[in-house]
Amino acid sequence: MIELTYPFDEARVRALKAGDAVSLTGRVYTGRDKFHKFFADGGHLGLDFRDGALYHCGPVVVKAADGTWQVKAAGPTTSVRENPYEPAFIAQTGVRIIIGKGGMDAATLAAMKQHGCVYVQAVGGAAALTAAAVTRVAGVSFLEEFGAAEACWHFDVTDFRGVVAMDAHGRSLFAEVAAESKRRLDRLIG
Protein backbone atom coordinates (compact mmCIF):
# COMPACT_ATOMS: atom_id res chain seq x y z
CA MET A 1 0.00 0.00 0.00
CA ILE A 2 1.48 3.32 -1.08
CA GLU A 3 0.39 6.17 1.19
CA LEU A 4 -0.09 9.58 -0.40
CA THR A 5 -0.92 12.79 1.45
CA TYR A 6 -2.34 16.00 -0.03
CA PRO A 7 -0.85 18.00 -1.68
CA PHE A 8 -0.03 15.10 -4.00
CA ASP A 9 3.55 15.61 -5.16
CA GLU A 10 4.05 15.35 -8.92
CA ALA A 11 7.21 13.24 -8.61
CA ARG A 12 5.48 10.73 -6.32
CA VAL A 13 2.45 10.58 -8.60
CA ARG A 14 4.61 10.08 -11.69
CA ALA A 15 6.42 7.24 -9.90
CA LEU A 16 3.17 5.29 -9.43
CA LYS A 17 2.58 2.31 -11.69
CA ALA A 18 -0.66 0.77 -12.91
CA GLY A 19 -1.59 -1.91 -10.39
CA ASP A 20 -0.25 -0.05 -7.34
CA ALA A 21 -2.61 0.01 -4.35
CA VAL A 22 -2.81 3.50 -2.84
CA SER A 23 -4.17 5.11 0.30
CA LEU A 24 -5.04 8.81 0.04
CA THR A 25 -5.21 11.23 2.94
CA GLY A 26 -6.16 14.89 2.69
CA ARG A 27 -8.43 16.96 0.48
CA VAL A 28 -10.45 15.35 -2.31
CA TYR A 29 -13.03 17.25 -4.38
CA THR A 30 -16.00 15.64 -6.10
CA GLY A 31 -17.09 16.52 -9.62
CA ARG A 32 -19.51 14.98 -12.07
CA ASP A 33 -21.20 15.93 -15.34
CA LYS A 34 -22.49 19.43 -14.51
CA PHE A 35 -19.18 20.36 -12.87
CA HIS A 36 -17.19 19.29 -15.93
CA LYS A 37 -19.55 20.98 -18.39
CA PHE A 38 -19.44 24.19 -16.35
CA PHE A 39 -15.62 24.09 -16.46
CA ALA A 40 -15.57 23.33 -20.21
CA ASP A 41 -17.89 26.26 -20.86
CA GLY A 42 -15.41 28.61 -19.17
CA GLY A 43 -17.02 28.72 -15.74
CA HIS A 44 -14.85 29.83 -12.82
CA LEU A 45 -14.41 27.00 -10.32
CA GLY A 46 -13.00 29.12 -7.50
CA LEU A 47 -10.96 26.16 -6.25
CA ASP A 48 -7.31 25.22 -6.55
CA PHE A 49 -6.92 21.71 -7.94
CA ARG A 50 -3.13 21.91 -8.35
CA ASP A 51 -1.58 18.78 -6.82
CA GLY A 52 -5.07 17.72 -5.76
CA ALA A 53 -7.59 14.97 -6.42
CA LEU A 54 -10.91 14.97 -8.26
CA TYR A 55 -13.37 12.21 -7.43
CA HIS A 56 -16.10 11.28 -9.91
CA CYS A 57 -18.75 10.84 -7.26
CA GLY A 58 -22.32 11.88 -6.52
CA PRO A 59 -22.36 11.36 -2.76
CA VAL A 60 -25.31 11.15 -0.44
CA VAL A 61 -24.69 13.95 2.06
CA VAL A 62 -27.13 15.06 4.76
CA LYS A 63 -27.07 17.99 7.13
CA ALA A 64 -26.98 16.95 10.80
CA ALA A 65 -28.88 18.74 13.57
CA ASP A 66 -25.69 20.60 14.52
CA GLY A 67 -25.39 22.01 10.99
CA THR A 68 -22.47 19.84 9.87
CA TRP A 69 -22.61 17.71 6.76
CA GLN A 70 -22.45 13.92 7.10
CA VAL A 71 -21.55 11.65 4.20
CA LYS A 72 -23.74 8.55 4.11
CA ALA A 73 -22.59 7.12 0.77
CA ALA A 74 -19.72 8.10 -1.51
CA GLY A 75 -19.25 5.48 -4.19
CA PRO A 76 -17.59 6.24 -7.53
CA THR A 77 -19.59 7.07 -10.61
CA THR A 78 -18.71 5.95 -14.12
CA SER A 79 -15.88 8.13 -15.41
CA VAL A 80 -16.30 7.61 -19.15
CA ARG A 81 -18.89 10.40 -19.29
CA GLU A 82 -16.15 12.90 -18.46
CA ASN A 83 -13.88 11.89 -21.37
CA PRO A 84 -14.74 15.00 -23.45
CA TYR A 85 -13.64 17.28 -20.60
CA GLU A 86 -10.91 15.53 -18.61
CA PRO A 87 -7.82 16.15 -20.80
CA ALA A 88 -8.38 19.93 -20.66
CA PHE A 89 -9.20 19.77 -16.96
CA ILE A 90 -5.93 17.94 -16.25
CA ALA A 91 -3.90 20.33 -18.40
CA GLN A 92 -5.43 23.53 -17.05
CA THR A 93 -5.76 22.71 -13.34
CA GLY A 94 -2.69 20.63 -12.51
CA VAL A 95 -4.80 17.97 -10.78
CA ARG A 96 -2.70 14.88 -9.97
CA ILE A 97 -5.28 12.21 -9.18
CA ILE A 98 -8.60 11.39 -10.83
CA ILE A 99 -10.73 8.87 -8.93
CA GLY A 100 -13.67 6.99 -10.38
CA LYS A 101 -14.74 3.68 -11.83
CA GLY A 102 -14.47 2.11 -15.24
CA GLY A 103 -11.52 4.05 -16.62
CA MET A 104 -11.20 6.73 -19.26
CA ASP A 105 -10.14 7.06 -22.90
CA ALA A 106 -6.81 7.34 -24.71
CA ALA A 107 -6.96 11.16 -24.85
CA THR A 108 -7.27 11.33 -21.07
CA LEU A 109 -4.46 8.80 -20.67
CA ALA A 110 -2.25 10.96 -22.92
CA ALA A 111 -3.03 14.03 -20.80
CA MET A 112 -2.15 12.06 -17.66
CA LYS A 113 1.18 11.08 -19.16
CA GLN A 114 1.97 14.63 -20.29
CA HIS A 115 0.93 16.40 -17.09
CA GLY A 116 1.72 13.85 -14.35
CA CYS A 117 -1.67 12.53 -13.30
CA VAL A 118 -3.05 9.07 -12.49
CA TYR A 119 -6.48 7.47 -12.48
CA VAL A 120 -7.37 5.61 -9.30
CA GLN A 121 -10.09 2.96 -9.53
CA ALA A 122 -12.28 3.17 -6.43
CA VAL A 123 -14.31 0.18 -5.32
CA GLY A 124 -17.75 0.21 -6.84
CA GLY A 125 -20.70 -1.10 -4.83
CA ALA A 126 -19.20 -0.13 -1.49
CA ALA A 127 -20.47 3.45 -1.15
CA ALA A 128 -21.06 3.25 2.61
CA LEU A 129 -17.59 1.83 3.17
CA THR A 130 -16.02 4.53 1.02
CA ALA A 131 -17.97 7.17 2.94
CA ALA A 132 -16.26 5.99 6.12
CA ALA A 133 -12.97 7.34 4.74
CA VAL A 134 -14.47 10.86 4.69
CA THR A 135 -13.54 12.40 8.02
CA ARG A 136 -15.01 15.84 7.35
CA VAL A 137 -16.93 17.81 4.77
CA ALA A 138 -14.82 20.96 4.59
CA GLY A 139 -17.18 22.73 2.20
CA VAL A 140 -19.33 22.53 -0.89
CA SER A 141 -19.38 24.51 -4.13
CA PHE A 142 -22.26 24.83 -6.60
CA LEU A 143 -24.82 23.23 -4.29
CA GLU A 144 -27.59 25.62 -5.33
CA GLU A 145 -26.61 25.62 -9.01
CA PHE A 146 -26.09 21.87 -9.54
CA GLY A 147 -27.95 20.13 -6.70
CA ALA A 148 -26.51 17.84 -4.04
CA ALA A 149 -25.46 14.91 -6.26
CA GLU A 150 -23.70 17.14 -8.81
CA ALA A 151 -22.23 19.71 -6.41
CA CYS A 152 -18.50 19.90 -5.82
CA TRP A 153 -18.02 18.58 -2.29
CA HIS A 154 -14.76 19.28 -0.46
CA PHE A 155 -13.93 16.11 1.44
CA ASP A 156 -11.14 15.55 3.92
CA VAL A 157 -10.33 11.85 3.74
CA THR A 158 -8.16 9.44 5.67
CA ASP A 159 -7.01 6.14 4.19
CA PHE A 160 -9.17 6.40 1.06
CA ARG A 161 -8.12 3.31 -0.86
CA GLY A 162 -7.99 2.42 -4.52
CA VAL A 163 -5.81 0.99 -7.26
CA VAL A 164 -3.89 2.97 -9.86
CA ALA A 165 -5.52 1.77 -13.06
CA MET A 166 -4.08 4.39 -15.46
CA ASP A 167 -0.64 5.80 -14.79
CA ALA A 168 1.50 8.71 -15.95
CA HIS A 169 3.62 6.31 -18.04
CA GLY A 170 0.79 5.70 -20.50
CA ARG A 171 -0.33 2.35 -19.12
CA SER A 172 -4.04 1.56 -18.69
CA LEU A 173 -5.22 -1.65 -17.05
CA PHE A 174 -8.60 -1.09 -18.73
CA ALA A 175 -7.01 -1.02 -22.20
CA GLU A 176 -4.95 -4.11 -21.38
CA VAL A 177 -8.03 -6.06 -20.27
CA ALA A 178 -9.94 -4.97 -23.39
CA ALA A 179 -7.06 -6.03 -25.67
CA GLU A 180 -6.65 -9.39 -23.92
CA SER A 181 -10.41 -10.01 -24.06
CA LYS A 182 -10.42 -9.27 -27.79
CA ARG A 183 -7.45 -11.56 -28.34
CA ARG A 184 -9.19 -14.42 -26.52
CA LEU A 185 -12.48 -13.82 -28.30
CA ASP A 186 -10.74 -13.79 -31.70
CA ARG A 187 -9.05 -17.06 -30.81
CA LEU A 188 -12.36 -18.63 -29.73
CA ILE A 189 -14.27 -17.65 -32.86
CA GLY A 190 -11.37 -18.55 -35.09
pLDDT in tens, 72-105: 999 999 999 999 999 999 999 999 999 999 999 9
pLDDT in tens, 19-73: 999 999 999 999 999 999 999 999 999 999 999 999 999 999 999 999 999 999 9
Model pTM score: 0.95
Residues 6+ apart with CB under 8 A from 113: 168, 169, 170
Of 189 and 86, which is predicted with more confidence? 86
Q: What class, spelled out in words, does domain 2-189 have in CATH?
A: alpha beta
User: Does 109 score more than 90 pLDDT?
Assistant: yes
In this structure, the strands spanning 134-141 and 152-166 are antiparallel
Q: Is 158 exposed, middle or buried (CB count within 10 Å of its CB: 0-12, 13-18, 19+)?
A: middle
Catalytic residue ranges: 36
Q: What's the N-to-C CA distance of the chain in angstroms?
A: 41
Position 186 scores a pLDDT of 87
Mean pLDDT of 132-149: 97
